[in-house]
């Protein structure tokens, strides 16, 4: 019973690790194809929410997460930020949300983490996020997720989970040390990225891209894969040497026994 539970745990571990990698790959594939948001388009959307109010500052920023610059057609590839003055007014958030609902913004989601809770909504291929800073509210407008983004993300996660479960199932069935060693090293290499990905998802959901994390970890994952290959080769070489030793000792044993036969 204990062996079966350990076997199931190993399979689930493989499904989670490679499923997370597949989720990141699927979200990257599904997030491509969107066009950047221009400053004029962002300001036009902001005037609908705050008519007669001009921002005290604006910034067009390119997507940059975990040290990785996103492409222009990637989800989150660019963002227009409009900063307004007036200090922190938490009641403003609800007023702007009510106006946004009448203007056709949909898919509202809360955005915690600032002094006043903000929100996020989508319309016409744009995603608007309202947050509150000490100086006043900030509107961030960026391309919304392209059509099929969620389906591609789920498909990638399921394919990765199936591949991980199958791989770790094969490794768990093999008793020699080499498959076990491979499983341990794969787990060590992928576990930090998987843990950081799910932490990121718990904080931002799919509102922020998750694949740059794996691109940032690539400089560490590639050497880890090379070390994994080197260790496997060394272990295989050591396992083959004892098998050749008895054949080499057979002749001296036969020679030692021949004088006694005379």
What pTM, to 2 d.p., does this model score?
Answer: 0.71
pLDDT of residue 15: 92
Question: Regarding predicted confidence, which is higher, 126 or 248?
Answer: 126
Q: Is the pLDDT of residue 261 over 50?
A: no
pLDDT of residue 45: 84
What is the residue whose two structure tokens read 């100086």? 135
User: Chain-wide mean pLDDT for the chain?
Assistant: 79
Q: Which of helix, strand or coil describes residue 120?
A: strand
Q: List, for residues 106-124, the tens digit of each pLDDT value.
A: 888 887 766 677 888 888 8
Q: List, for residues 128-146, the tens digit of each pLDDT value.
A: 888 887 777 888 888 888 8
Half-sphere exposure of 54 (CA within 13 A, CB side): 2
Domain ranges of the chain: 2-28+149-246, 33-143
Question: Regarding predicted confidence, which is higher, 188 or 260?
Answer: 188
What is the residue whose two structure tokens read 């199936």? 162
* Torsion sign (Cα): 44, 39, 142, 86: negative
Radius of gyration from C-alpha coordinates of the chain: 28
Contact at 8 Å (CB) between 16 and 194?
yes
Q: Which of helix, strand or coil describes residue 146?
A: coil
Q: List, for residues 89-104, the tens digit of each pLDDT value.
A: 677 777 888 888 888 8
Q: Is the pLDDT of residue 173 over 60?
A: yes
Of 7-21, 104-118, 181-195, the range with the highest mean pLDDT is: 7-21
Strand partners, 138: 83, 131
Q: Is the pLDDT of residue 258 over 60?
A: no
Give 36's DSSP letter: P
Q: Is the pLDDT of residue 23 over 60?
A: yes
Q: How far is CA 86 from CA 138, 140, 207, in A?
A: 11, 17, 27
Cα distance between residue 64 and residue 68, in whole Å: 6
pLDDT of residue 25: 92
Contact at 8 Å (CB) between 100 and 46?
no
């Amino acid at each position: 019973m204990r062996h079966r539970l350990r076997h199931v745990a190993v399979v689930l571990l493989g499904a989670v690790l490679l499923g997370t990698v597949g989720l990141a790959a699927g979200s990257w594939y599904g997030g491509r194809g969107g066009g950047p948001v221009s400053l004029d388009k962002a300001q036009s959307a902001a005037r609908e929410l705050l008519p007669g109010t001009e921002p005290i500052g604006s910034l067009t920023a390119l997507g940059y997460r975990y040290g990785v610059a996103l492409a222009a057609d990637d989800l989150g590839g660019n963002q227009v930020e409009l900063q307004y003055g007036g200090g922190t007014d938490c009641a403003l958030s609800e007023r702007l949300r009510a106006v946004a609902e009448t203007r056709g913004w949909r898919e509202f989601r809360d955005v915690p983490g600032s002094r006043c809770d903000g929100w996020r909504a989508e319309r016409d291929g744009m995603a608007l996020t309202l947050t509150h800073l000490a100086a006043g509210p900030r509107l961030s407008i960026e391309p919304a997720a392209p059509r099929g983004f969620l389906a591609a993300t789920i498909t990638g996660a399921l394919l990765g989970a199936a591949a991980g479960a199958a791989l770790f199932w094969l490794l768990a069935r093999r008793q020699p040390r080499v498959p076990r060693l491979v499983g341990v090293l794969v787990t060590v290499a992928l576990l930090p990225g998987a843990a950081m990905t799910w932490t990121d998802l718990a904080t931002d959901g799919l509102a922020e891209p998750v694949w740059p994390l794996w691109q940032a970890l690539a400089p560490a994952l590639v050497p880890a894969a090379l070390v994994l290959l080197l260790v496997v080769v060394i272990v295989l070489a050591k396992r083959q040497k004892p098998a050749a030793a008895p054949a080499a000792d057979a002749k001296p044993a036969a020679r030692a026994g021949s004088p006694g036969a005379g």
